[in-house]
Amino acid sequence: MRHPRLALIWVWPVLLFTGCLATGIWLAFSWDESLLATVWSRPDGQEAGWWPAMLRFLYGAAAFLIAVVLSVVALVAALLVANVLGAPFNDALGERVERQLLVETPEAVSPGVLLDLVRSVRMELSKMALYAAVMVPLFLLSWLVPVVGQVLYAIVGFGFTTFYLAFDFVDGPASRRGWGFRRRLALFRTHAGAMAGLGMGIWLILAIPLVNLLLVPAAVAGGTILFLDFEAGMNGEPPGAVGGPRP
């Protein structure tokens, strides 16, 4: 690892996700029979005959299916919790990358450590709410309107996800500079091609189950480096003018 100290930052979101997922799966397989028992009493294990045996088999299969469904719910919940709780760590990682690449880093616009933590979590929740506000109606449309809804979901959903991911991963350095939403949107319009490439690259990273959490720090670093390159261009420097890593 070229910069082992960075691992002290990015390892925490990974540990958060792993802990949340392990807890969720343990609860899923602990509560499966309890949930099933609310609608179906456990068959008598002592009763002989093929029908009682079939009922016991179906009961076990239903309990396992409930555990699998709860595990999927636990995975989604772990991803959401890790994204929210990991936001401050990802922000710190992006800031450390800036220090590695820039001789002089801009002074961060920060109201204080605690308020900055609250801001990071609130911003992450707001972005997740925005994503859900667009994607949930598209998902429902894909079920309500056959073919057309599914085509719209695939095209519009992928396009918006690409935009969202690119916007999300350059948001850290923009926030540290106190940029407003309009200025960030203008940055996206000015560098639409590069931002689309970043968004698609991050989408491919996140498409790898479980491994995606290990690669998110690389996406944070990539978004930060791309933003610094854009910022250098705004200052009249040529593309790729961001300095190499400092020793």
Residue range 131-164, pLDDT digits in tens: 888 888 888 888 888 778 878 888 888 888 888 8
216 token code pair: 């998110």
Query: CA 37, CA 59: separation in Å to the nearest integer?
Result: 10
pLDDT tens per residue, range 36-61: 777 777 776 666 777 778 888 888 88
Residue 25, judged by CB atoms within 10 A of its CB (0-12, 13-18, 19+), counts as: middle
Helix, strand, coil distribution of the chain in percent, nearest 5: 80, 0, 20
pLDDT tens per residue, range 87-114: 777 777 788 888 777 655 555 555 555 6
Is the pTM higher than 0.75? The answer reads: no
Helical H runs in 145-180? 148-169, 171-176
Query: CA 174, CA 120: separation in Å to the nearest integer?
Result: 12
